[in-house]
């Protein structure tokens, strides 16, 4: 039964909080945190004998958790969000609680028709397309800030008498074309990919082109579109018969993320959490540096980094960052799980197709630097001369 009179163990926690300036922490608040499984219970120390009751002491991790909870656990804060924030700080949140918080973040991703999962997939996709058309649902392909940067760079490139991409890079595009995917198409493709866990190479290529609409050529989109023709043996191992890229076993993509929330080692989740945070900071910093160069009327290192990455995963990370202005803890958790999934897929492909040129992931502009660092062991192990102690890490 809750009481306003703290036990000796709770008094230690209250004193600890008060010494650090959190005077509003009370015994009742401790009980609320415990009821939400954010704070472990006290550890029994055994009886005092002769009917004098028993002793208890706080779990060792409780002292740090109380301070973290005092910082983040104010009125109206969602327990799952608080758990994720504490986890992000490296605090020892109970494992069951943090896994439940990651799972809840995935569960928040809903698609019309989720209440009728046994419906025929084709019927469900037809109904989904009708819903998107009726509701006017769209996906932002190029956020306004990225669009302004693209336009500013294009003006300076033309003023200097150059073209971008240069002819050598443009020549790699086997099928240069105007993208046909609309924001509404993107919404349907994203929802369908979530439901089925697959997306066709044609759709992926078209979306890549639509996310860089001013480009006269898109070599990366072309490489995706021509996978079946260029590397048939590789395609046979990673694509379905109808040219779909499957996210592991064909099923709802959210189920893959739920599995990771339940089973991924906590250290992997923690590292990916920090990486996702680093990617966001890198993307925002890059935007700021490019905007400074544009304001000064010249293209410098930041603009070149932007231009090189605009076609690749680095550019996609920038667009994704700019779409999430606030980036709540649940979105941070989803980005974390996607990173863990991507790393797992790279390792799966490494087993399926030995000899993949993973060292190319270290190419400047291909990936956000924090993601590159996350994959450093895979990149280094597969680099030419890796056995001779060659350091393939790009200069910082």
**SS3 call for 44:** strand
CA distance 324 to 280: 10
Residues 63 and 149 in one domain: no
Residues 88 and 149 in one domain: no
**CA-atom Rg of the chain in angstroms:** 25
Which of 300, 176, 200, 198 has its CA nearest to residue 256? 198
Give the pair of three-digit tokens for residue 300: 């410098």
Task: pLDDT band for 49, please (50, 70, 90 cuts).
Answer: very low
H-only helix segments in the chain = 8-19, 27-35, 62-72, 79-88, 95-107, 121-135, 144-159, 167-170, 183-196, 201-210, 219-225, 227-230, 232-238, 253-263, 266-296, 301-309, 313-323, 329-352, 369-374, 376-381
CA distance 97 to 84: 9
Residue 70 lies in a domain: yes
Residue 194 lies in a domain: no
Higher model confidence: residue 28 or residue 128? 28
Residues 39 and 147 in one domain: no
Residues 154 and 282 in one domain: yes
Q: How many CB atoms lie within 10 A of CB 99?
A: 20
Give the pair of three-digit tokens for residue 297: 């009327």
Residues 90 and 150 in one domain: no
Q: With 70 as the cut, is the pLDDT of residue 243 above it?
A: no
The backbone torsions φ and ψ at residue 317, rounded to the nearest 5 degrees and listed phi first, read: -65, -40
**SS3 call for 79:** helix
- The label of the residue with tokens 């669009």 reads 147
The backbone torsions φ and ψ at residue 64, rounded to the nearest 5 degrees and listed phi first, read: -70, -40
110, 194 Cβ separation under 8 angstroms: no
Residue 291 lies in a domain: yes
Task: pLDDT band for 386, please (50, 70, 90 cuts).
Answer: very low
Residues 18 and 151 in one domain: no
CA distance 182 to 361: 29
Residues 148 and 281 in one domain: yes
Give the pair of three-digit tokens for residue 268: 């992997």
Residues 358 and 278 in one domain: yes
Residues with Cβ within 8 Å of residue 102, at least 6 apart in sequence: 84, 260, 261, 269, 333, 336, 337
Domain residues for 277?
Answer: 140-171+252-384
Q: How much is the mean pLDDT over the chain? A: 84
Residue 210 lies in a domain: no
Residues with Cβ within 8 Å of residue 185, at least 6 apart in sequence: 206, 210
The total number of structural domains that make up the chain: 2
Q: Please confirm whether the linkage preceding 29 is cis (ω < 30° from 0).
A: no
pLDDT score at 390 = 34
314, 367 Cβ separation under 8 angstroms: yes
Whether this prediction's pTM lies above 0.75 is answered by yes
Residues 84 and 160 in one domain: no
Residues 262 and 363 in one domain: yes
pLDDT score at 25 = 93
CA distance 173 to 72: 50
- pLDDT tens digits for 291-348? 999 999 999 999 999 998 998 899 999 999 999 888 999 999 999 999 999 898 888 8
Residue 123 lies in a domain: no
- pLDDT tens digits for 148-178? 999 999 999 999 888 888 888 888 888 888 8
Residues 150 and 293 in one domain: yes
Give the pair of three-digit tokens for residue 221: 């989109």
pLDDT score at 384 = 60
Higher model confidence: residue 183 or residue 235? 183
Residue 188 lies in a domain: no
Residue 200 lies in a domain: no
Residues 162 and 310 in one domain: yes
Q: With 60 as the cut, is the pLDDT of residue 196 above it?
A: yes
Residue 189 lies in a domain: no
CA distance 19 to 120: 61
């Amino acid at each position: 039964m809750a009481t306003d009179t703290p036990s000796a163990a709770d008094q230690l926690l209250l004193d600890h909080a008060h010494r650090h300036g959190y005077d509003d922490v009370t015994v009742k608040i401790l009980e609320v945190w415990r009821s939400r499984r954010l704070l472990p219970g006290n550890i029994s120390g055994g009886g005092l004998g002769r009917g004098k009751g028993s002793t208890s002491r706080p779990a060792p991790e409780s002292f740090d958790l109380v301070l973290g909870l005092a910082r983040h656990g104010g009125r109206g804060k969602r327990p799952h969000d608080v758990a994720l924030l504490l986890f992000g700080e490296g605090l020892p949140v109970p494992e069951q609680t943090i896994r439940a918080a990651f799972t809840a973040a995935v569960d928040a991703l809903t698609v019309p028709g989720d209440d009728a999962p046994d419906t025929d997939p084709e019927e469900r996709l037809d109904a989904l397309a009708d819903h998107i058309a009726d509701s006017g649902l769209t996906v932002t392909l190029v956020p306004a800030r990225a669009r302004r940067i693209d336009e500013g760079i294009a003006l300076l490139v033309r003023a200097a008498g150059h073209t971008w991409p240069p002819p050598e890079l443009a020549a790699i595009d086997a099928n240069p074309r105007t993208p046909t995917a609309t924001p509404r198409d993107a919404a349907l493709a994203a929802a369908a990919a979530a439901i089925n866990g697959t997306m066709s190479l044609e759709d992926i290529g078209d979306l890549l082109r639509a996310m860089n609409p001013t480009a006269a050529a898109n070599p990366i989109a072309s490489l995706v579109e021509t996978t079946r023709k260029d590397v048939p043996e590789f395609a046979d191992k990673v694509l379905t018969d109808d040219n779909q890229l499957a996210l592991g076993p064909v099923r709802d993509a959210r189920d893959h993320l739920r599995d990771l929330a339940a089973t991924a080692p906590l250290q992997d989740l923690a590292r990916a959490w920090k990486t996702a945070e680093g990617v966001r900071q890198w993307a925002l910093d890059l935007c700021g540096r490019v905007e400074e160069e544009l304001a000064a009327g010249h293209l410098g290192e930041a603009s070149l980094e932007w231009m090189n990455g605009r076609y690749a995963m680095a550019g996609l990370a920038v667009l994704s960052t700019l779409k999430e202005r606030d980036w709540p803890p649940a979105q941070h958790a989803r980005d974390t799980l996607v990173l863990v999934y991507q790393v797992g897929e790279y390792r799966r492909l490494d087993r399926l197709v030995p000899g993949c040129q993973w060292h190319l992931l270290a190419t400047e502009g291909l990936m956000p630097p924090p993601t590159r660092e996350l994959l450093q062991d895979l990149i280094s192990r597969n680099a030419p001369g890796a056995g001779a102690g060659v350091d393939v890490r790009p200069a910082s």
